[in-house]
Amino acid sequence: AQSVTQLDSHVSVSEGTPVLLRCNYSSSYSPSLFWYVQHPNKGLQLLLKYTSAATLVKGINGFEAEFKKSETSFHLTKPSAHMSDAAEYFCVVSDLRTASKLTFGTGTRLQVTL
């Protein structure tokens, strides 16, 4: 079965400093990996996706993630945090066997302080 582990439930950074949100996955087949962001009282918005093309994936709002098969990781990074980045972030995995059924991590709440 596939699974996702988000290593930090809460991350706090100062505005202008780098962001690192960690994600490890488990999948028996070639995985597709996604990061979604959820602002308060809103649905989820896709930040970026990995689907076996380039291992370094660039997304919206300056975020990027690197797929590392040897480490089974897909960490999300951003060079410089903005106040508007404060939200909940979900790492998500699917694979060929489970087709459209996504498996979500438990989320990381990002706090950005002045």
Partner 1 sequence: GAGVSQSPSNKVTEKGKDVELRCDPISGHTALYWYRQRLGQGLEFLIYFQGNSAPDKSGLPSDRFSAERTGESVSTLTIQRTQQEDSAVYLCASSLGPGGNQPQHFGDGTRLSIL
Which residues of this protein are in contact with partner 1, per CB under 8 A? 31-32, 34, 36, 41-46, 49, 51, 90, 94-96, 98-107
Q: Least distance in Å: CB of 80 to partner 1? A: 25
Return the number of the residue (83 or 99) whose C-beta is nearest partner 1: 99
Return the number of the residue (42 or 58) whose C-beta is nearest partner 1: 42
Question: Which token pair is 108?
Answer: 């990381």
Residues 6+ apart with CB under 8 A from 10: 108, 109, 111
Residues 6+ apart with CB under 8 A from 29: 95, 96, 97
Q: Least distance in Å: CB of 20 to partner 1? A: 20
Question: Which token pair is 71?
Answer: 């480490």
